[in-house]
Amino acid sequence: MGKELYDSNETAKKLFEQANDILGFRITDVMFDGSAEDLKETKITQPAVFLHSVVLAKTMDDFQPSMVAGHSLGEISALVAANVLQFEDGLKLVSLRAQAMQKACEQNPSTMAAILGLEDNVVEDVCAGINEEVVVAANYNCPGQLVISGSNEGVRIACEQLLEKGAKRALPLPVGGAFHSPLMEPAREELAAAIMEANFNTPSCPVYQNVSTQAETDASVIKENLIAQLTAPVKWTQSIQNMIKNGATEFIEVGPGRALQGMIKKVDRAAEVSGVS
């Protein structure tokens, strides 16, 4: 992961080595030569995805987006791309976020599941009706795809009820815990202190954040939204709709994979999508 970039670009090599120094271990060894299991550890996965995305952005010619957004962890990459955060500060926050989330997962065994083929309000109503367990709508990925998050039992009950309501599929996700749910509160508190201390600059272009879905340009508001993000849902569908409403016609996914391109096409088939990975 990222090895070709490291080998072919001096700027990339410098940033990867800087990341090794900041993290205090050679994450590049895991990214380039580690097993899939090694890479799946939360403390590795989050910095690795952040690094790959941000280094790609820093090595693109004429990288001047009119607006940016990032899905969940990707929001921190977007903040670096929009010059809100310096590379080093972004990486430190991502590393802390990963460790805090890992701890929260260990405190509360929990999970997530993707619900396909239902209206958002049906999923929300079912989750709201399960009072004895924690389960909430967590990721509004695109029309017909909403991820739920909560206690193991809460997610199991919700999946059963949602299939009865007509969901095409209810897919348990291979994740360590209930991200973007109230069960992440210990991680939110830990990360909040670090975010408040970090230096946030005025963005070079509007940032559409997961929590507000609006074009944010005020550094203090961006901080508050980033803190809220850990326990609040990722409103990706609504963010993309607002970007399109405000003039976006072409979306470039910067980072590994094509997941966001697929989601954006489902939000608006007319949107032009491409990727740099």
For the segment 204-231, what is each residue's pLDDT rounded down to a tens digit?
999 999 999 999 999 999 999 999 999 9
List, in order of start, the domains of the chain with CATH numbers: 3-106+182-276 (3.40.366.10), 109-172 (3.30.70.250)
136: pLDDT strictly greater than 90: yes
CA separation (Å) from 200 to 46, 80, 218? 20, 10, 9
Going by C-beta distance under 8 Å and a sequence separation of 6 or more, which residues neighbour residue 109?
151, 152, 177
Name the band, by pLDDT with cuts 50, 70 and 90, for residue 140. very high
Residue 219: Cβ within 10 Å count:
16
What does the alpha-carbon distance between residue 234 and residue 239 come to, in Å, rounded to a whole number?
Answer: 9
Q: pLDDT digit string (tens) for 244-275?
A: 999 999 999 999 889 999 999 999 999 999 99
Check: CB of residue 94 under 8 Å from CB of residue 42.
Answer: no
Q: Tell me the three state secondary structure of residue 254.
A: strand
pLDDT at residue 43, as a whole number: 83
Mean pLDDT of 9-33: 97
Catalytic residue among 77, 180, 181, 239: 180
Phi, psi of 216 (to 5 degrees): -100, 135
As beta bridge partners, residue 50 has: none
Q: Using the 8-state DSSP alphabet, how is residue 257 labeled?
A: S
As beta bridge partners, residue 113 has: 148, 172
Check: CB of residue 105 under 8 Å from CB of residue 195.
Answer: no
Q: pLDDT digit string (tens) for 47-105?
A: 999 999 999 999 998 889 999 999 999 999 999 999 999 999 999 999 999 999 999 99
Mean pLDDT of 27-40: 93
* 72 has catalytic annotation: yes
Q: For the chain, give the mean pLDDT.
A: 96
Q: What percent of the chain has pLDDT over 70?
A: 100
Q: What percent of the chain has pLDDT over 90?
A: 92
Predicted model pTM: 0.95
Phi, psi of 262 (to 5 degrees): -65, -45
